[in-house]
Amino acid sequence: MGRTLTLPTIVITGLGAITPLGLTVEEYWQGLVNGRSGFGPITLFDASAYPVSVAAEVKNFDPEKYMPLKRVDRTSRCIQFAIAASNMAIESARLDMSREKPEKVGVIIATSGMMSIIADEGEVLRKKGPMRIDPLGITKTAPSMVTAQVGLEIGAKGPNTSLNSACASGSDALGIALNHLRLGHANVLIAGGAEANVNPIAIASTARVGALSREKDPGKASRPFDLNRDGFVFGEGAGIMVLETLEHAQERSAPILAELAGAGWSFDAYNETAPDAETQAIAMRMVLQDAGVTPEEVDHINAHGTSTRLNDAAETRAIKMVFGDRAYKIPVSSNKSMIGHLACAAGAAEAVAAVMTVREGIIPPTIHYETPDPDCDLDYVPNKARRQTVNVCLSNSFGMGGQNCSVIIKRFP
């Protein structure tokens, strides 16, 4: 006979966020509920020759406020975002590592590393030869070093994994952490995503694919679900959660913010860049099953909502496939209208927003929304936040290439 496995409840006890809307979770949340745009002209490099001039940059970030100067000198902007947000989440969770078994605390963070540093070092190699390469280049750029540096910072000796599944990565990290905890591989996991993609190579290559908005007015550059949308705006930052089993959280009297109730995955196997609504629907159905939630119980969908022609229409179709007529009654909104697309960190930063939505009973809007699209005909919470009780929030992350991940955040208890 088969054995029924009783899975432990996994809760969220700490949050950290470094975003274009602010350097704390509270600043991020207030920016979202007030419908504030984090967009502006690109300042991190000279973009005058680029077809794209707008990005969502993190402003006034001083890494020395979050880590020793020695670590600052040995890390990249992406890693610094990860360390800062992780320390913030740990403080929020009141997690004292001196009281934890280090082998039962781990780190799982999604990232693409730092492509721009690799490109710069390639130029040094071509012009000056191999002996002039930065000896710390690999430790600053390798995606694995994001989780390694966070693990070093906090002394965590449990599972330590970096991952990249494009725009689904941040949610993937949360889902993988969820299952590690369910299976007893750790008591506590620091999980989320970090990205610093406002750099020449990321902007140029993504613009060439045709995915970025070429709108020069920051007030119109990202318009999820709007008829006149023309692509997304790159953002940067990090979203991190402290996840732990309910039993462990209660043993240490931790603040319990919400429950991470489930995760669902699928892969389009369809096209390198075009999305497939039917496969996106599979991920949503899977997360509902995993979380033990019915379609009728979902109060809000935090959409992937990139502001591209194909994605927004596909996501709308996928939601209708899963929820039927009820899709028209569920508020659907896109944080990317305010923070841009944080790539590998997007799902994690948006999950932080989902936790706050469940806790505060306020649904952030989709801003810059003006003209309805007949192919996108749901309730997108246009331009103004909505006060509403949210017990269950489903958050979507769909990656370029076809990787899909959905997670569910539930009110606790």
Q: Return the pLDDT at 400.
A: 92
Could you report the per-residue pLDDT of 74-107, keeping only the tens digit for each? Answer: 999 999 999 999 999 999 999 999 999 999 999 9
The edge-to-edge listing of strands for the beta sheet with 160-163 is 160-163, 105-110, 188-196, 236-245, 10-18, 258-267, 403-410, 392-398, 300-302, 332-333
Q: Are 333 and 366 in contact (CB under 8 A)?
A: yes
The amino acid that residue 200 corresponds to is P
Q: Return the pLDDT at 1.
A: 41
- Write 150-154 long-range contacts (CB < 8 A, 24+): 150/82, 150/83, 150/86, 150/107, 150/109, 150/190, 151/106, 151/107, 153/67, 153/71, 153/83, 153/86, 153/87, 154/86, 154/87, 154/90, 154/97, 154/105, 154/107, 154/190
Q: Return the pLDDT at 228.
A: 97
Known catalytic residues?
A: 167, 304, 341
The amino acid that residue 188 corresponds to is V
How far, in Å, are 18, 72, 121, 204, 238 from residue 197 at the CA level?
Answer: 14, 18, 17, 11, 11
DSSP character string of 342-410: -GGGHHHHHHHHHHHHHHHTEEPPBTT--SBBTTB-S---BSS-EE---SEEEEEEE-TTSEEEEEEEE
Consecutive 10-residue runs of the chain (413 residues): their mean pLDDT?
75 99 99 98 95 97 94 92 98 98 99 78 82 78 92 97 96 99 98 95 92 93 97 98 99 99 97 94 99 98 98 99 99 99 98 99 98 98 99 98 98 94
Show Cβ contacts of residue 334 under 8 Å, excluding neighbours closer than 6 positions.
Answer: 224, 225, 302, 303, 304, 305, 306, 307, 366, 380
Q: Return the pLDDT at 277.
A: 98
Q: Return the pLDDT at 367.
A: 98
Range list of β-strands (E), 205-309: 236-245, 258-267, 300-302
What is the C-alpha to C-alpha distance for residues 207 and 225, in angstroms, rounded to an integer? 20
Q: Return the pLDDT at 242.
A: 99
Q: Return the pLDDT at 138.
A: 79
193: enclosing H helix or E strand: strand 188-196
Q: Return the pLDDT at 141.
A: 79
pTM, to two decimals: 0.95
The amino acid that residue 317 corresponds to is R
Q: Return the pLDDT at 35.
A: 98
Indicate the average pLDDT of the chain. 95
Q: Return the pLDDT at 120.
A: 78
Q: Are 322 and 406 in contact (CB under 8 A)?
A: no
Q: Return the pLDDT at 3.
A: 54
Q: Return the pLDDT at 4.
A: 56
Q: Return the pLDDT at 130.
A: 84
Could you report the per-residue pLDDT of 203-230, keeping only the tens digit for each? Answer: 999 999 899 999 999 988 999 999 999 9
Percentage of the chain exceeding pLDDT 90: 88
Show Cβ contacts of residue 213 under 8 Å, excluding neighbours closer than 6 positions.
Answer: 52, 54, 221, 222, 229, 230, 231, 232, 233, 307
Q: How many CB atoms lie within 10 A of CB 198?
A: 25
Show Cβ contacts of residue 384 under 8 Å, excluding neighbours closer than 6 positions.
Answer: 35, 365
DSSP character string of 301-358: EE------HHHHHHHHHHHHHHHGGGGGGS-EE-THHHH-B-GGGHHHHHHHHHHHHH
